[in-house]
Amino acid sequence: QEGKGIGLDSLSDDQEQMTEDELLQRKQQKQNLVAVAEAFNEKPFKQAWIEKAVELEILDTVENAKGVAQILYMASNLDKAKVGEYLSKGPEEDYPFNTKVRQFFISMFDFTEMGFAAALRLFLSKFRLPGEAQCIDRFMEGFANELYRQQGGDNSFFKNSDAVYVLSFSTIMLNTDLHNPMINDENRMTKQQFINNNRGINGGEDFPPEYLSLLYDQIKEQQIQVQRDVGEFMKKEEDDEDFRSAWDSILAKHREVAAASFTPAGQARRNIYKAGIHDREMFTVLVRYLRLCLPAVFARSMDDVIVFKTLRGLKQMAMCADYFDMPDLVNDTIEHLLVEGREYVVNVIIQEHSHVAHHHDARETQSVSSRSLGSVATTEDDESAADDTTYADEEKFDSQIPYSLLSTGKGYSEIDYTGASNHRGLLAMDTGFLLVRRYARKVITAWPIFIECLCAMRDARALPKGLSELDDF
C-alpha cells in the first residue's frame, strides 16, 4: 500500500500565506516529527516508531511506504547512519517494504536543474552510505535511475541510466582517493587518470574531457560527505579534521538562512500590539525555564536589585499567564510568593519571642551584654524606661525594610533597593496579595496558603484590629 503522508505536505516552505491556526498546526506537526525521529533513532528496524507516527496522525497506516519515506526525508535529528542502513536493506524479495520506501525516498529529490556533482552531494546529504557494497549499489542504482529520468531520459546528456550509475561509483572512488588522509599526495588519482578511467561509459561513448575535468576539480575543491551533526562528535571521539569539516558545513547552512526580523523596542513601546497564538506558544516555551529559574534566583541572591527585579519578573510572568488564560501558572506563582511570605512572618514571630525571652533573662540577671543583646536604648538612671527598651538589631531590622518597593510605597520620591534581600519574604507576600486581589477570579489552589498567611499575620499582630477580631479568627 502506497498511502500518503498525513500532515507532512504542509511542512514545505513554499506556502506564502498561512493563518495563525495553520502555523500553529504546522509547529505541532514538526514537534510530532521530532518525537517520531527519536523513536526511529532508538530502534529503526522495529515497528514501534512507525506505530508512533500512526498514533500522532503523521501516517494513516503502518503500511504507508510513501509516508515513511517522507518522514525519513523531512524529519530533523535523524541518525543519518541508521537512515542509510534502513533504506539500503535488500534484496527486494526479502525486504519489499524497505525497497518501496527507498524508491519513494529517492523520488523526493529534485535534480532537474542540477549538475551531476551538485546532485550527488544533495543525494548523499540525507543519509550516510553504509559500508556494504551491495547496500551502496542499491542507493547508486536508485540515484542513477532518478537523475536520468528527471534530466530528460532519452534526451538527457547521459545516454542511459547505466552511465549515471558508473559515473556515480567512479566519482565516489575519486572523492575517497583525493580526500583520504592515509593516501600520500603522490599516489592520489590525477585528472588524466580519472578521464581515462571513464572512457566509453556513456553508452559506449566518452564523456567530453572538459566535463570530466570540471567534475574532477569540483570534487577536489570540495569533498563530498554526508552532513553530520556536531552532536555526533560529542558522543564519541572523532578525528579533528572530521569535526572541522562538519562544523564548516553547519556554518554554511547558517548563511543560507534568512536573518531574523524583530520589532525595534522603541516602536514596540509606542504601539500596542495584540499578542496572538505565536506569542502564547513562545511564552509557553519560555515559562518552562522561567518558573524554575526566577524562584531559584529570588530565593538565593543576596543582591538587593536582583532580588527586586526577579520579583518583578515573577509578577510579570503571572500577568502574562492571566492574559494567555493559564490559571495553573497564575496559581503556582501566587503560591510560591505566599509561601515565601508566610515563612517570613513565621521567622519574625520567632525572632520576636527570642528577643522577649532574652530580654527577660537579662533583666533577671541584671546583666547587660552588648555582644548578646546589642545596644540597649535606655539609660541607667531611668528605670522607668525599661518597658520601652529596644535593641539596636531591631532598629536596624526596621530601618532596612524597603518601604518604597512595597505596593503601598508609591508615595516615595526615590526608589531605594536597600534591604530587599533581607526582606524578600515581605516583598513576596506583598506581591502575592496584590496578585490575589487582581486575579481573584482565577485563584483556586492558592487560597489555602493565602489563609495561612493571614493566620500567620494574626499571630504576629500585624492584621488590622477589625480583621483580627473577626469570629473566624
Phi, psi angle pair for 416, to nearest 5°: -115, 115
SS3 string of 98-140?
HHHHHHHHHHCCCCCCCCHHHHHHHHHCCCCCCCCHHHHHHHH
Q: Residue 329: is it exposed, middle or buried by C-beta count within 10 angstroms (0-12/13-18/19+)? A: buried
User: How far is it, in rounded angstroms, from Cα 37 to Cα 57?
Assistant: 14
> 64, 5 in Cβ contact below 8 A?
yes
> 348, 460 in Cβ contact below 8 A?
yes
Cα-based distances in Å from 448 to 242, 311, 347, 452: 59, 22, 20, 6
Q: Residue 206: is it exposed, middle or buried by C-beta count within 10 angstroms (0-12/13-18/19+)? A: middle
Determine which one of 2, 20, 42, 132 is catalytic.
132
Phi, psi angle pair for 117, to nearest 5°: -65, -45
> 425, 343 in Cβ contact below 8 A?
yes
> 420, 307 in Cβ contact below 8 A?
yes
User: How far is it, in rounded angstroms, from Cα 182 to Cα 204?
Assistant: 34
> 85, 129 in Cβ contact below 8 A?
no
Residues 6+ apart with CB under 8 A from 118: none
Amino acid at 83: V
Q: How many helices (H) and strands (E) does the chain have?
A: 21, 0
The answer to whether residue 364 is catalytic is: no
Cα-based distances in Å from 55 to 47, 52, 78, 86: 12, 5, 19, 21
User: How far is it, in rounded angstroms, from Cα 355 to Cα 360?
Assistant: 8
Active site residues: 132
